Amino acid sequence: MLRAGERTRYEEKRDALLAAAHSRKTLMGILNVTPDSFSDGGRFNSPDRAVEQAKSLIADGADIVDVGAESTRPGHTPITAEEEWARLAPLLEPLLEAVDAPLSIDTYKAATARRATELGVVVVNDIWGLQHDPAMADTVAEAGAALVIMHNRTETDPAIDIRADLRRFFDHSLTVAQRAGIPSERIILDPGIGFGKTKQQNLAALAATTELLDYRLPILIGISRKSIFGALLGATVDGRLIGTIAANVVTAMYGASIFRVHDPAEHRAAFTVLDAIVSA
């Protein structure tokens, strides 16, 4: 558990990140410590390489580093909480010691979230938005962590109105969060691009960013290098940066404020240009 001084620093990191998300474009650098992620599986699953990559992401402009130990790409093989923690345990403490930027944990398992937040991770990034593990909401509340609620579906249904489904999902998740005592000012919403959606629904979910601003919560877009760019552009994973930047710039103009990316330097440059044009 965090001691008194560590708890104060934890709260400072959390609150500074949330304040940034309400005032400027914030970059969440992706650090996958998995053997099978679609983009960078197996590259950063040793302590030295994980720390090196985290430092590189921060040097390139990332405000926070999102650490994930289970691939959630389409067709992924789920792992247990014990397997997930076995991948994270050797890495999280070195990461927390080596970098001053806040860390988030990309997990939908309460046991993993509890262990990570006890070490000092300030954000829980839940791809099931509190709707998978019944213990997750209480875990986040007890830790005092910030929370990313991501929209998800167990299966794709081309017939549904994805905008209405986003509303239903977020309304339910926010009710769960409120009952657990998670303050709304610590919550971030993510439309879940690439999760349980057709290509057209993914595009509609991105376009719905302006509507989601009604919640008065920061909107996170996680579309970096995803397969939608393969469908739209015929691009391989390594060729999807231009599509990623285009989508993130558009959603930034729609009001999104947090962007989960593999390439923070390129995004920081793109947003600098965008801000210069808008301010002119």
Q: Which residues are catalytic?
A: 226, 260
Q: Which amino acid is at 100?
A: D
48: helix, strand or coil: helix
* Ordered strands of the 123-126 beta sheet: 187-190, 146-150, 123-126, 103-106, 64-68, 26-32, 258-261, 220-221
The tokens for 155 are: 């299966």
Distance (Å, whole) CA 158 – CA 136: 29
Tally of helices (H runs) and strands (E runs) in the chain: 11, 8
Neighbours of 86 (CB within 10 A): 12
Burial class (CB in 10 A: 0-12, 13-18, 19+), 274: middle
Q: In angstroms, what CA-CA distances link 78 with 15, 83, 99, 113, 219? A: 32, 10, 29, 16, 27
